[in-house]
Amino acid sequence: MNIDKLGFNKWFQDKTDSDKLADYHIARVITVHKNSYIVNNGKSDLFAEVSGKLTFDADSPLDYPAVGDWVYVQFFNDESFAIIHGIVPRKSLLARKTSGKKIAFQLIAANIDTAIIIQSLDSNYNIRRLERYLVMINENDIHPVVLLSKSDLLTPDEMDKKKSDIHQVMPSIQVVAFSNKNYSDLDRVKELLIPGKTYCLLGSSGVGKTTLLNNLINDDVFETQTVREKDGKGRHTTARRQLIIIENGAMVIDTPGMRELGNISVESGLHGTFSEIAELSDQCRYNDCTHTGEEGCAVLAAVQDGIIPGGRYQNYIKMNKESAYNEMSYLEKRQKDKQFGKLIKSVMKYKKKKDVT
Ligand SMILES: Nc1nc2c(ncn2[C@@H]2O[C@H](COP(=O)(O)OP(=O)(O)OP(=O)(O)O)[C@@H](O)[C@H]2O)c(=O)[nH]1
Ligand SMILES: [Mg+2]
Ligand SMILES: [Zn+2]
CA of 225 from ligand 2 middle (Å) equals 8
Among all bound ligands, the one having the nearest atom to the CA of 291 is: 3
pLDDT score, position 267:
54
Q: Is the CB of 256 under 6 A from ligand 1?
A: yes
pLDDT, residue 265, reads: 38
Give 300 or 324, the one with higher predicted confidence: 300
Å from CA of 299 to ligand 3 middle? 5
Structural domains in the chain, CATH included, are 10-87 (2.40.50.140), 93-254 (3.40.50.300)
Nearest Cα residue to atom 29 of ligand 1: 226
Characterize 44-59 residue by residue with b for buried, 16 or more Cβ atoms within 10 angstroms of its Cβ, and e for exposed: eebebebeeebeeeee
Ligand 1 near 269 CB (within 6 A): no
pLDDT band of residue 301 (cuts 50, 70, 90) is very high
| Cβ–ligand 1 contact at 204 (below 6 Å) | no
209 CB within 6 A, ligand 1: yes
Task: Label residue 332 by pLDDT band (50, 70, 90).
Answer: low
Strand locations in the chain (E):
25-32, 37-40, 45-50, 70-76, 81-87, 93-98, 104-110, 114-120, 143-149, 175-177, 198-202, 242-245, 251-254
Q: How far is the CA of 205 from the centre of ligand 2 (A)?
A: 7
* Paired sense of beta strands 143-149 and 114-120, if any: parallel
For 224-262, write each residue's pLDDT tens digit.
Answer: 777 765 556 666 677 678 899 998 999 999 988 765 444
Assign 353 a pLDDT band (cuts: 50, 70, 90). Answer: low
21-30 average pLDDT score: 95
Residue nearest to atom 8 of ligand 1 (CA): 208
CA–CA separation, 266 and 271 (whole Å): 9
> Which region among 95-99, 106-110, 206-210, 297-301 has the lowest average model confidence (pLDDT)?
95-99
Residue owning the nearest CA to atom 1 of ligand 1: 150
More confident residue, 47 or 141: 47
